[in-house]
Amino acid sequence: INKYLRGDDYPETQAKETLLSRDYLSTNEPSDEEFKNAMSVYINDIAEGLSSLPETDHRVVYRGLKLDKPALSDVLKEYTTIGNIIIDKAFMSTSPDKAWINDTILNIYLEKGHKGRILGDVAHFKGEAEMLFPPNTKLKIESIVNCGSQDFASQLSKLRLS
């Protein structure tokens, strides 16, 4: 779903099979318009299901990103420009309990009434306290701490890593 929402290559056959098995399609060879409409309804249903989960009072979550590939230089620039507002077109996975280590760790400070929801037993990685945000969630880059900076060790020691 996320690859589809971001406009990336995605396993179309698998998407069609999923939509067919869940009665969003009536044939495994839909027209482009039928497929697009079915995906839209399916994604909206997932987003509605997400919003029906209980609100949380978490104020900080973490998101690990792997941005060390040359093809991701534009994305890296987006995430390292203070003041940038990033809109994630897809569902955004975070965790209030631990940061999944990658080359970039986002500390995301949440406002009261945020739309993130704890997934519990349906989390992708079992045992992870995954908080999922709906498509088109906005993030504002307020500060950056690099591994070469004086604040890095201090900031890293504050993370609840597993």
**Domains in the chain, number:** 2
Highest mean pLDDT among 109-118, 135-144, 150-159: 109-118
Is residue 93 domain-shared with residue 70, that is, in the same domain? yes
Q: Are residues 133 and 101 in the same domain?
A: yes
Question: Does the structure show a pLDDT above 90 at 154?
Answer: no
- Kindly tell me if the per-residue pLDDT of 27 is higher than 80: yes
Same domain, 28 and 6: yes
Q: How far is CA 134 from CA 2, 4, 30, 74, 80, in A?
A: 11, 14, 27, 23, 23
5-18 pLDDT, tens digit per residue, is 999 999 999 999 99
72 and 22 in a common domain: no
In this structure, the answer to whether residues 26 and 64 fall within a common structural domain is no
**Is residue 66 domain-shared with residue 125, that is, in the same domain?**
yes
Which domain does 74 fall in, by range? 60-158
**Hey, which residues are catalytic here?**
63, 93, 130
Last residue within a domain, chosen from 13, 31, 51: 51
- Are 38 and 116 contained in the same domain? no
Same domain assignment for residues 29 and 83: no
Q: For the chain, what is the mean pLDDT?
A: 85
- Report the CATH number at residue 86: 3.90.176.10
Please state, for a pLDDT cut of 90, what percent of the chain lies above it.
Answer: 51
If asked whether residues 81 and 40 sit together in one domain, one would say no
Both 109 and 140 in one domain: the answer is yes
SS3 for 61-75 is EEEEECCCCHHHHHH
- Rounded to whole angstroms, the Cα distance separating 117 from 99 reads 17
CB 38 within 8 A of CB 30: yes
Over residues 90-118, mean pLDDT: 83
Chain centroid to CA 134: how far? 8
